[in-house]
Amino acid sequence: MFSKLDIQHQIPLEPYGDIYTQFGINTPNGFSGIAYHHISSDIQDQIFNTCPWAPRSAFNALLMVINRMHIPPHNDDGIKVSINLYIDTADAVTTFHRNKKSTAAGYMKLPNQTNGSIYNAEDLEPVAQFKAQSGEIYVLDVTSLHSVDCGTSNIRTAYVIQSPFFSYDQTMESYKKYYDL
C-alpha cells in the first residue's frame, strides 16, 4: 500500500507554478482541496536525480498543494503510483482503507474525476496509517483507497512524481533493484 524509502530530499519549495489539475470544491474563500502545480525544469531535475529509478518517460513531476484539513477516502484519478517528496506535512496522517462489504462502497465523483472516486467513510475500515516528516519520501499505491487528515492548518506541500503506467509494485521493484535491496 505504501513504503517509506531509505532516502531523503532537501529540495526547497519554489513559488507555485500554473495549475496542472485540481480536485476539490470552490468556496467563498476560494478553492479547497488538492491542487497539482507545474514545476520548473530545475526542480524536476532535482527530483529525478533524487529518484533515479523512476524513469522520466513514465512519470510526471508536479507540486501537490493541499489546503484542506480533511481529504476524504478516495482513489487517485488517472494514476497508479505516487512518489511523494514531502516539504511541509501539516502534521498530517495518511490512512489507507478497505471496503467493509464485499459490494462496492457508495461513492460520489467530483465533476473532473474519471476513474477516481470519493468513498463514504462509513463503508470502509482503516488498514494502515503513516505520518510523514518533512524531507521524507514515500511511495503510495494510489489505486488503494486513502484519506488525509492534517494536524495543523498549514498548507500541506510535497513534490510528487506520478505514473499512469508504473504500478506500486513495479515502482518498488525498480527502487529495490537500483539499490540492490
Torsion-angle region of residue 180: left (phi > 0), alpha (psi -120 to 50) or beta? left
For 82, half-sphere exposure in the C-beta direction (CA atoms, 13 angstrom radius) is 20
Of 76 and 141, nearer to Fe ion (C-beta) is 76
Of 76 and 136, nearer to Fe ion (C-beta) is 76
Alpha-carbon gap, residue 110 to 23, rounded angstroms: 7
Residue 127 Cβ, how far from Fe ion at the closest point, in Å?
16
Task: Looking at residues 66 to 125 of the shown chain, list those that interact with Fe ion (rule: CB under 5 A).
Answer: 76
Residue 146 Cβ, how far from Fe ion at the closest point, in Å?
6
Residue nearest to Fe ion (CB): 76
Residue 54 Cβ, how far from Fe ion at the closest point, in Å?
18
Q: Can you read off the three cell numbers belonging to residue 60?
A: 510526471
Q: Is 141 in the site for Fe ion (CB under 5 A)?
A: no
Please give the distance of CA 145 from its chain centroid, rounded to a whole number. 12
- Residue partners of 49: CB distance under 8 A and separation at least 6: none
Q: Tell me whether residue 110 is exposed, middle or buried, using C-beta atoms within 10 angstroms of its C-beta: 0 to 12, 13 to 18, 19 or more.
A: middle
Tell me, residue by residue from 24 to 53, as one string, x for binding to Fe ion by CB under 5 A and - for no binding: ------------------------------
CB atoms within 10 A of CB 11: 16
Helix count (H) and strand count (E) of the chain?
2, 13
Residue 102 Cβ, how far from Fe ion at the closest point, in Å?
24
Of 55 and 78, nearer to Fe ion (C-beta) is 78
Of 44 and 82, nearer to Fe ion (C-beta) is 82
Of 9 and 97, nearer to Fe ion (C-beta) is 97
Residue 73 Cβ, how far from Fe ion at the closest point, in Å?
9
Binding site for Fe ion (CB under 5 A): 76
